[in-house]
Amino acid sequence: MAEKQSTQAQVKDQHVTAILVTHNGVTWLSEVVAALSSQKRLPDQIIAVDNGSIDGSVKLLSNAGIPVIKQSKSAGFGSAVAAAVAKLPIVDKQINNQENNEWLWIIHDDCAPDKLALAKLLEAVAERPQVGIAGPKILGWYDRKHILEAGISITENGTRWSGLEDREHDQGQHDEVKNVLAVSSAGMLIKRGVFEELGGFDPSLELFRDDVDLGWRANIAGHSVICVGEAILYHAQASSSERRAIDVKDAILHRPLLLDRRNAAFVLLANSSWWILPWVALQLLFTSIGRSFIYLLAKLPGYAADEIAAIGLLIFKPADLIKSRRYRKKNKVLSARVIKQFIPTRSTQLQASLERISTSISRAFKSKNAQQNPTQVKSYSDIGIIDESFDELEFVEGKSFAKIRALAKQPFLFGLLVISIFSIFYSRNRFGSLSGGALPVAPDSAMHLISNFFTSWHLVGLGSSSPTPLWVLIVGLASVITGGNPQIFINLFFFFIPLLLYVLTYRSARRFNLSNYSATFAGFIFAVSPAILTSINQGRIGTLVVAALFPILFTALYNHQQLTDLKWRKLYLVTIVAAIAAAFSPIFLLVWLGYQIYQLINQYIAAQNINSTKWEDISKILNQDEIKKRFALLITPFLINIPNSFSLLANPSAKLLEPGLSVPSGDLLSVLLFNPGGPASPNLYLLAPFVLYLFLCLVVKQQRRDTSLALILLALSVTISSFYIAGNNSNAQRVWTGTLIVIAQFILTLNIFSLAERIIPQLRTINFGFKHILSAVTALVTIFSTVAMTGWGLSIGANSLVTTDNEQVIPAFISDLATTNERPKTLVVRKNQEQLKYFITRGSDLLLGAPDVSSKTPEIIHTSIVDLFNGVGVSSSQILGFYGIQYIFMKDPADPALVRTIDGIGGFTRSSATKDGVIWKVNNAHARVSFQNMKGQHFPVNSNDISANGYVSSSGTIIIAEKFDKSWRLLLNGVAVPLEKNEFGLPVFKIAQPGEVLITHDGTVRRGWIS
């Protein structure tokens, strides 16, 4: 009892100044003033600071007898509090304990404290003299059982963290007093001495996150921060919820999210230890990119821009951040580790995110009437004044609908759920670093792909100067999303592609004026079609990218077929999307060019004065806006993909290969049935419905135009697939035409559902006939195909060529040798029942993009290898040795007859025979770069991957064990030496005198094409 009386006496001894900050908050201000006046323990004085209100706030405060300090509307919250503190009398430190007994109670104009709030706060701090800041438990203004905050923290990526469940209701579970990182500035009770010691709120944080920053600095300075659960405050959160405009100076474009995200990043960067700053900065960058991507999918481009712009503001204005970090050093008493206990762990964040997602999904499937919505209180002057029974919320019980009916009203969400479950089970063998089929192994660094795009010489096989296609650079840049790791990016791409195709097709179908239900079915049918699942199973990344981008192109151009109302900015966005698709698929580029040329000719013919031969008339026609836009659509994707687009036009038949390794595809019947075929593809009896769609849409006049395009694409697909092309480091295979099939089936899917929506209402009003029969057959075929393909994908279809458990072909010791100065090459041999295969490696398996720049093996090397296997290659070791091939590796199971053949031919010494295979060393093989003196002796020259340098002691010949290319350069003592070709087709340089040599590959041509 005596202890309680002592606490109450201490509470009475405290001097509290309530600082009320207002800015156009008259909507809530009358209740706030009433709440302050009704406190059981009244504040000793109230000072109001108004930041340029124009809504009557100042008049209301004056009528209530509260003195008002006026500031401009651009002033920040912290400056308002500082202005009020500046008006207080100076603390006399000579008076005993006055400094520790003076408190500042900070109140927003949209928060109303409960009548016991101040008393509970003072009781808590009276019992804890080490406390510098205390805050109440904050409940919602409009739902006064909803807990908004009970102390706050910040995550490593800048998210404001409350540690509460989604829409958690107050049941007394947070009524204790607990230490926290920070409390909200709404209702914050802070010692005046602590406030002045810390310098108040950081002026760089004019609004949002200033409270987190102040709490962080208080903890580091040795002051405790507590949340008092029994002290309650109701907060409307008017600024963050965009119920009113924010006018502070730093609020660019008056966007709350932009300011919040900028300040969140500022708090982390200003307060974190210097040694973890790079990690914090990377997390903030990647999180912002990820959030912006999600906002774009949610059709919120403004929020997406806010995320990126927030980071940009800090990058381009680092002065405030540097100044703040210097200031924080002055008051730092404790190590930054003291706040670690308040930062939520990643497992805690993940658990909370999963709970929030599951809650959101379950809430989405509930009818609005089934949700329990609290009735809004009629007035808020009841807080502490009107009878407490008025605070009891009444809930309206809604009638609960059956789950099936709820799902029927949310077809898109139901489809999203189904396709997500399908993706999880379908991808069960593809969690990890993917490779197999057409997909080579992805490197573990995006810089490998980016540097490969710019380099002029590629270390694949015996070397190649072929230009790297643009898609390699795109994948490298896109891997920034996954922290610069292409392996993770490729894995996520293959996992999410069915989901992405479903969403994009649904969106296009809705723009195609299809109903919600039809768009859902169309998206699902397209996402699980044979062409899509075959592309995933075979690693056809090019086809999958086109499948994802074509709905975007179709939607953009279908609604603007005449291009007159298509703005230039949007048009160039369309051309960029088309250029990206063309980078991944040369066949798409050919089709795109052909279609745009056809449309351009049609528009020219349709123009007036077409028969005129006058240049003025022709110029007038060509100067029409529509023709200029069509020409931009034609030429821009072509120009972006130079020089590969020139190669495609110069030799189309040799450049029609998709990215990656060549994989056998199906025959003509498979292509006709919209199934590209090949290994790991669905059986033909799992009939795709698109042939039936094609027939029905051709019959109907309204669908005939679009369907004719699909028919042309199918015919082109059948024609092209009859060709066999060798390339991409592989034997000749049928040309893969899955890209054309995917485009054709997308067009047919939208048109058949458009036809169905028009026909079905007619079937109810006409007598039974062939329309009913065809409709029933189409529905049955569609259902059978969709169910069958889904079942196939969930069962045997998951056993694809693309997996995570593909073993490494090259033994580890050969990979290690490849990093030595000699840079040896290895001939890898694999034999199956059908044929013998070989490839030349530099110590690693083929990486992403390498097959696309590989060139044909020189005939002299191919002949030597064939002779070796046939047992007649007497000179094989010499030729292989000159090309720097120092080892032959035969992968298990090795053919015993072939092993005996190689053993019996001179020039090869068996090195080892392990469980991996058999290895031979090529006798007298040369290094990648070697020097041959006049006596015929060979000496290795110190070599990097491409360049080499060293000292030659006499005249002789420098031999480069790479394919001949005119861009090889050698400088002898700084003077260029002419390039020659020897009898083996290797690049050589004649050295006339001793000196320093420098060998490089001249990338001027490559840089010219890029620029």
Could you tell me which of 534, 546, 842 has the C-alpha nearest to residue 663? 534
Distance (Å, whole) CA 533 – CA 419? 13
Which of 174-183, 484-493, 649-658, 841-850 has the weakest average pLDDT? 649-658
Element (H, E) at 569: helix 568-584
Whether 471 and 410 have beta carbons less than 8 Å apart is answered as no
The distance in angstroms from the start CA to the end CA of the chain is 84
Q: Is 387 left (phi over 0), alpha (psi -120 to 50) or beta?
A: beta
Question: What CA–CA distances, in Å, run from 735 to 510, 645, 668, 720?
Answer: 34, 18, 11, 6
Residues contacting 456, CB < 8 A, separation 6+: 465, 967, 1001, 1002, 1003, 1005, 1006, 1007
**What digits encode the pLDDT tens for the residues 678-712?**
899 998 888 889 999 999 999 888 888 889 999 99
Distance (Å, whole) CA 236 – CA 108? 10
Stretch 244-262: mean pLDDT: 73
Residue 71 bridge partners (DSSP): 51
**What digits encode the pLDDT tens for the residues 776-818?**
999 999 999 999 999 999 999 889 999 986 666 677 777 777 7
Could you tell me which of 92, 38, 33, 91 has the C-alpha nearest to residue 59? 33
Residues contacting 771, CB < 8 A, separation 6+: 759, 762, 763
| Residue 235 neighbours by CB distance under 10 Å | 22
| Residue 476 neighbours by CB distance under 10 Å | 24
Stretch 406-428: mean pLDDT: 83
In this prediction, residue 370 carries a pLDDT of 44
- Is 477 exposed, middle or buried (CB count within 10 Å of its CB: 0-12, 13-18, 19+)? middle
Residues contacting 615, CB < 8 A, separation 6+: none
Split at pLDDT 50, 70, 90, the class of 362 is: low
Tokens 């912002």 -> residue: 288
Whether 195 and 85 have beta carbons less than 8 Å apart is answered as yes
Task: Examine the pLDDT at 315 and tell me if it is beyond 50.
Answer: yes
Stretch 929-953: mean pLDDT: 90
Distance (Å, whole) CA 154 – CA 298? 25
Which of 90-94, 135-139, 724-728, 931-935 has the weakest average pLDDT? 90-94
Residue 906: strand, helix, or coil? coil
Distance (Å, whole) CA 538 – CA 738? 11
In this prediction, residue 12 carries a pLDDT of 77
**Token reading at 200:** 């108040």
**What digits encode the pLDDT tens for the residues 832-863?**
666 778 888 887 778 898 888 888 888 899 88
In this prediction, residue 713 carries a pLDDT of 94
Whether 45 and 18 have beta carbons less than 8 Å apart is answered as yes
Kindly state the DSSP code that residue 371 receives in the 8-state scheme. S
> Do you know the residue count of the chain?
1011
| Residue 388 neighbours by CB distance under 10 Å | 10
Q: Which of 181 and 351 is assigned the larger pLDDT?
A: 181
**Token reading at 897:** 């007859």
Whether 373 and 259 have beta carbons less than 8 Å apart is answered as no
Residue 983: strand, helix, or coil? coil
Distance (Å, whole) CA 388 – CA 513? 54
Distance (Å, whole) CA 422 – CA 437? 22
Question: What CA–CA distances, in Å, run from 780 to 311, 411, 967?
Answer: 53, 20, 62
Residues contacting 683, CB < 8 A, separation 6+: none
**What digits encode the pLDDT tens for the residues 622-646?**
667 788 888 899 999 999 999 888 8
Instruction: Tell me the percentage of the chain whose pLDDT exceeds 70.
Output: 88
Task: Examine the pLDDT at 48 and tell me if it is beyond 90.
Answer: yes
**What digits encode the pLDDT tens for the residues 579-603?**
999 999 999 999 999 999 998 888 7
Whether 553 and 574 have beta carbons less than 8 Å apart is answered as yes
Distance (Å, whole) CA 233 – CA 139? 6
| Residue 381 neighbours by CB distance under 10 Å | 17
In this prediction, residue 4 carries a pLDDT of 58
Residue 1001: strand, helix, or coil? strand
Tokens 């005198």 -> residue: 993
Task: Indicate if the alpha-carbon torsion angle 115, 116, 119, 120 is positive or negative.
Answer: negative
Whether 460 and 1006 have beta carbons less than 8 Å apart is answered as no
In this prediction, residue 322 carries a pLDDT of 82
Distance (Å, whole) CA 752 – CA 101? 78
Question: What CA–CA distances, in Å, run from 850 to 457, 643, 842?
Answer: 11, 17, 12
Tokens 């798409």 -> residue: 588
Residues contacting 369, CB < 8 A, separation 6+: 398, 399, 401
- Count of CA atoms in the C-beta half-sphere (13 A) of 61: 28
**Token reading at 842:** 């530099």
Distance (Å, whole) CA 761 – CA 772? 11
Whether 191 and 222 have beta carbons less than 8 Å apart is answered as no
Question: What CA–CA distances, in Å, run from 591 to 19, 389, 720?
Answer: 69, 73, 12
In this prediction, residue 321 carries a pLDDT of 82
Task: Examine the pLDDT at 373 and tell me if it is beyond 50.
Answer: no
**What digits encode the pLDDT tens for the residues 10-34?**
777 889 999 999 998 898 999 999 9
Stretch 76-104: mean pLDDT: 81
Q: For Cα atoms 245, 249, 254, give the angle at the middle one, nearest 5 degrees.
A: 30
Domains belonging to the chain, first-starting first, are 2-250+334-356 (3.90.550.60), 412-798 (no CATH), 812-922 (no CATH), 929-1010 (2.60.40)
Whether 1006 and 994 have beta carbons less than 8 Å apart is answered as no
Q: Which of 964 and 347 is assigned the larger pLDDT?
A: 964
Split at pLDDT 50, 70, 90, the class of 92 is: low
Kindly state the DSSP code that residue 524 receives in the 8-state scheme. H
Question: What CA–CA distances, in Å, run from 427 to 434, 435, 491, 566, 803?
Answer: 11, 13, 10, 40, 9
Stretch 386-395: mean pLDDT: 36
Split at pLDDT 50, 70, 90, the class of 372 is: very low
- Count of CA atoms in the C-beta half-sphere (13 A) of 39: 24
Distance (Å, whole) CA 250 – CA 208? 11
**CA-only gyration radius of the chain, Å:** 36
Residue 275 bridge partners (DSSP): none
Whether 219 and 267 have beta carbons less than 8 Å apart is answered as no
pTM over 0.75: no
Instruction: Tell me the percentage of the chain whose pLDDT exceeds 90.
Output: 42
Which of 266-275, 709-718, 971-980 has the weakest average pLDDT? 266-275
Helix, strand counts (H, E) of the chain: 37, 30
Question: What CA–CA distances, in Å, run from 443 to 349, 477, 560, 660?
Answer: 30, 13, 41, 14
Q: Which of 353 and 21 is assigned the larger pLDDT?
A: 21
Residues contacting 502, CB < 8 A, separation 6+: 415, 416, 419, 523, 524, 526, 527
Task: Examine the pLDDT at 58 and tell me if it is beyond 60.
Answer: yes
Average per-residue pLDDT for the chain: 84
Task: Examine the pLDDT at 152 and tell me if it is beyond 80.
Answer: yes
Give the pairing type, strands 15-22 and 102-108: parallel
